[in-house]
Amino acid sequence: MTALPTPTARPTGQAAQPGGDRYLLGPISATIDCPIRSVRDDFRHLYGDMAISHLQQQSDVAINVTIETDGLHLPWHPKYRLLGDGELMYQRQPTAGVLPHLEWVINRRTTLRLTSRLQLHAASLARNGRGIIMAARSSCGKSTLTAALVAAGWSYLCDEFAMINPKTLGLHAFPRALCLKQGSFDTAKRLGLALHKPGCYATAFKGPVAYIPPRTLSMPDVSDSHPVAAVILPQYRPDCEPRLIDIPPAEAVLALAELAFNRHAFGADAINMLTQICTGAHCCRLISNDLHATVALLDNLVKAG
């Protein structure tokens, strides 16, 4: 295993804002209290344009990063725990794991706090005002494909969420940094996307990762609603030609329902919403391989729809 460059850990370094830094991440405001200066700086690099003052808005989510004090820890390898609204969510994280886990804490708290949207675990993009949902579990290549689509001129809505407005059934942007795994670093560079500190951060689950700030991904305003033109279930198959296979809307409804984070909050209404979306959209399974050919397929699909 290759050694990772480690972000500088300075638990007693430059002081953060008293009570933590506050950001307005679309419909969610989050206060982040982190003792590690490099993580604070990197988070500011990703979301600096969304920083707000403590006077502007109450915080929906409070995240605290604290250094582990119990057990035996080497002072030059500090471990951290992350708390979301006072609840312990991750612990024993090295410095290189803090930012990725901070992102996950925000995602997990968002699923609980944001009740005005049906949230799916999917990538969401838009082309000419028309949205697509790319629904798949992790490691199906949806982030890399998202990066390729953005490089081809698509609008980035979110890499982790498809945020559905229950009233309009439209997709909304949710400003989260695009997270790419090490295997996609070269691809992203070839596409002309600027990765922030590639390989500096890592998780046990994903390995080394890099982030792309949402402001560089031509993200529309979070209040813009994008009607869903297509529901795509992507599957990376290195041995196959890229192609789209039409699927029955019911298959798409079931797939989306299984990936809905807050389905419980909406109950049967979630199924009604997904049914309306899938019956009005083009539903297909995408066998992806060559990125350019795959992007061309999706371009044609949205144009034709």
Partner 1 sequence: MGTDAKRMQRAANPPYQQHADRSWVAGRQPMPAPQRRTDLHVQTVGDELIVYDPAAAATYRLNATAGCVLDACDGSRSIEQLADVLTEQFDVSHDHARGDVIELVCYFATNGLLDARPAVNDESNSETNQREAA
Size of the site for partner 1 (CB under 8 A): 18
Of the residues 34, 63, 157, 253, which one makes contact with partner 1 according to CB under 8 A: 253
Least distance (Å) from partner 1 to the CB of residue 263?
6
Confirm or reject binding of residue 115 to partner 1 (CB under 8 A).
Answer: no
Nearer to partner 1, 187 or 276 (CB): 276
Distance CA 195, CA 232 (A): 26
Distance CA 69, CA 80 (A): 9
- Asked if 61 and 103 count as a contact pair (C-beta separation under 8 A), the reply is no
- Residues near 112 by beta carbon (within 8 Å), at least 6 away in sequence: 262
What kind and span of H or E run contains 62? strand 61-67
Confirm or reject binding of residue 135 to partner 1 (CB under 8 A).
Answer: no
- Residues near 41 by beta carbon (within 8 Å), at least 6 away in sequence: none
Confirm or reject binding of residue 111 to partner 1 (CB under 8 A).
Answer: no
Q: Which stretch binds partner 1 (CB under 8 A): 24-32, 97-105, 128-136, 258-266?
A: 258-266
Q: Which stretch binds partner 1 (CB under 8 A): 147-155, 233-241, 251-259, 297-305?
A: 251-259
Distance CA 50, CA 21 (A): 11
Amino acid of residue 266 = F
Nearer to partner 1, 273 or 291 (CB): 273
Q: Which stretch binds partner 1 (CB under 8 A): 3-11, 30-38, 188-196, 252-260?
A: 252-260
Residue 219: DSSP 8-state: P
Interaction with partner 1 in 261-280: which residues (CB under 8 A)? Answer: 263-264, 267-268, 270-272, 275, 278-279
Query: Listing from the earlier edge strand, what are the strands of the sheet with 28-33?
Result: 51-52, 21-25, 28-33, 61-67, 80-84, 87-93
Interaction with partner 1 in 221-250: which residues (CB under 8 A)? Answer: 248-250
Binding mask 175-214 for partner 1 (x = CB under 8 A): ----------------------------------------
Least distance (Å) from partner 1 to the CB of residue 281?
12
Confirm or reject binding of residue 304 to partner 1 (CB under 8 A).
Answer: no
Distance CA 87, CA 266 (A): 24
Distance CA 86, CA 81 (A): 11
Distance CA 60, CA 223 (A): 18
Confirm or reject binding of residue 251 to partner 1 (CB under 8 A).
Answer: yes
Max Cα–Cα distance, the chain, nearest Å: 61
Interaction with partner 1 in 277-296: which residues (CB under 8 A)? Answer: 278-279
Confirm or reject binding of residue 254 to partner 1 (CB under 8 A).
Answer: yes
**Which residues are near partner 1 by CB under 8 A?**
248-251, 253-254, 257-258, 263-264, 267-268, 270-272, 275, 278-279
